[in-house]
Homo-oligomer: A and B are copies of this chain.
Amino acid sequence: MANEKFGPVRVGLLGIGTVGGGTFEVLRRNQDEIRRRAGRSILITKVADLNVARAQEIVGPGVQVVADAREVVNDPDIDVVIELIGGYGIAREMVLAAIENGKHVVTANKALLAVHGSEIFLAASRKGVMVAFEAAVAGGIPIIKALREGLTANRIEWIAGIINGTTNFILSEMRDKGLPFDQVLKEAQRLGYAEADPTFDIEGIDAAHKITILSAIAFGVPVQFDRAHVEGITALQGEDIRYAEQLGYRIKLLGITRLRADAAGRPFGIELRVHPTLIPARRLIASVEGAMNAVWVKGDAVGHTMYYGKGAGAEPTASAVVADLVDVSRMLTSDPENRVPHLAFQAEAMSDLPILPVERIETAYYLRLRVSDEPGVLADITRILADERISIDAVLQREPAEGENQTDIILLTHRTIEQQVDAAIARIEALPTVLSKAIRIRLEELV
């Protein structure tokens, strides 16, 4: 790795639970990739966790582990503090202390920001440090960056998000299986999709924290969680899900924020609310199922855009934490070499991996063959495919029309290398029972 001009960024981690462990693992596993992009190493050098022994086991002997978060936020060698403690108490205290000590902060704590954001952002601005919080909303989906930077040209009109995976999972199950709320909640708890105390999720509080943050970014107002209207899904009944369905709608728990303007277009207020919502079944967001998250944003220039992905989990959330670390790292110097590189990787850290010729690609295939309608045709074809080590996923043989003596055979293959398919097709087309060139279309499961 060429560019070590800037030296490593030293990071202190407060709390190494699910997301903290994921962050440590992603930084470790993708350290080369991240250094090639950021132009410098990003190292977690100190961890605070009440369970010192377990934390030390996760991070190994090379990283210092302490029980007291104060030792991290007061350590002059630490550049950036990641706060993953959660809640409003000690987390708030530690974030403010880190800021006071001139450290940048990365946090996934939506509750803290939705309630104490104004105080925290003011303190950070005064100290000239950054507080980054991509991980606070919708896990690894870079929705904060999209809103704050990508859509910066727009007057945002509204945002509507499925931003709580637990409730979306419960609603998907209630609809698919026709089961009542209580029963599905128990199942969700058993599967780990809902916590033992699910109040924050099912009462809409978690979603309200998140939409409060998005609202502040969209409209440039202070975070005001106490002004949000919050309804959860506990009162929702199966028959309403069914009636909605009959009318062409699905019910989702949405976080919604909207700029309201008078007839002359002058804004007079902002809606900020979380509640079960009927949405047209034909909208793409209505098909967001299970524990996935999706955020719709309507901007006056861009129109409708949507951002979709996993809203929780160790590594999706870590993806956002680390992206924030890289952003903060770039701010630590104003050297042009430390900007976002044109092609994401630093110019001297580009890869020389070859673009493969099409014969070497690997994908699945749809093959359509025009054949004589006589016995043994399919057997000949499948034998050739087997010879070329191509395995078949599905076969569809059209019934020949009355009086016709030709028909179509359609085959779906499993993933294979294109040159094997080329070879098989050449042999198949040479069969006397195959009457025309094979139609070949590639197939991707996108998994």
Q: Does A54 contact B (CB under 8 A)?
A: no
A441's partner among B240, B256, B315 (CB-CB below 8 A) is B240
Contact: B141 with A247, CB < 8 Å? no
A316's partner among B256, B296, B303, B344 (CB-CB below 8 A) is B303
Q: Does A10 contact B (CB under 8 A)?
A: no
Give A325 Cβ to nearest chain B Cβ, in Å.
Answer: 8
Q: What residues of chain B lie closer than 8 Å to A121, measured between beta carbons?
A: 342-343, 347
Q: Does A389 contact B (CB under 8 A)?
A: no
Nearest chain-B residue to A124 (Cβ)? Answer: B342
Tell me the complex Cα distance, A84–B32, Å.
36
Q: What residues of chain B lie closer than 8 Å to A247, measured between beta carbons?
A: 366, 394, 396, 410, 412
Tell me the complex Cα distance, A200–B278, Å.
41
- Please tell me how many copies of the chain the complex holds: 2
Give A347 Cβ to nearest chain B Cβ, in Å.
Answer: 5
Tell me the complex Cα distance, A442–B217, Å.
24
Q: What residues of chain B lie closer than 8 Å to A215, measured between beta carbons?
A: 355
Give 1 or 0 for each of A254-289: 1 = CB within 8 Å of chain B CB.
101011100000011111110111111001110110
Give A247 Cβ to nearest chain B Cβ, in Å.
Answer: 6
In chain A, positions 292-334 with a C-beta closer than 8 Å to chain B are 296, 299-310, 313, 315-316, 318-323, 326-327, 331, 334
Contact: B322 with A441, CB < 8 Å? no
Q: What residues of chain B lie closer than 8 Å to A357, measured between beta carbons?
A: 229
Contact: A322 with B270, CB < 8 Å? no
Q: What residues of chain B lie closer than 8 Å to A364, measured between beta carbons?
A: 278
Q: What residues of chain B lie closer than 8 Å to A355, measured between beta carbons?
A: 215, 221, 224, 227-228, 269-272
Contact: B280 with A319, CB < 8 Å? no
Contact: B303 with A153, CB < 8 Å? no
Contact: B343 with A217, CB < 8 Å? yes
Q: Does A234 contact B (CB under 8 A)?
A: no
Give A76 Cβ to nearest chain B Cβ, in Å.
Answer: 20
In order of increasing CB-CB distance, the 8 nearest A-B pairs are A142-B150, A334-B334, A153-B322, A220-B345, A140-B302, A305-B309, A227-B355, A278-B443
Which A residues form the contact surface with B (CB < 8 A)? 22, 26-27, 29-30, 33-34, 36-38, 117, 121-122, 124-125, 128, 130-131, 134, 139-142, 145-155, 160, 215-224, 227-229, 236-237, 239-240, 243-244, 246-247, 249, 251, 254, 256, 258-260, 267-273, 275-280, 283-285, 287-288, 296, 299-310, 313, 315-316, 318-323, 326-327, 331, 334, 336, 339-345, 347, 349-358, 360-362, 364, 366, 368, 394, 396, 408, 410, 412, 439, 441-446
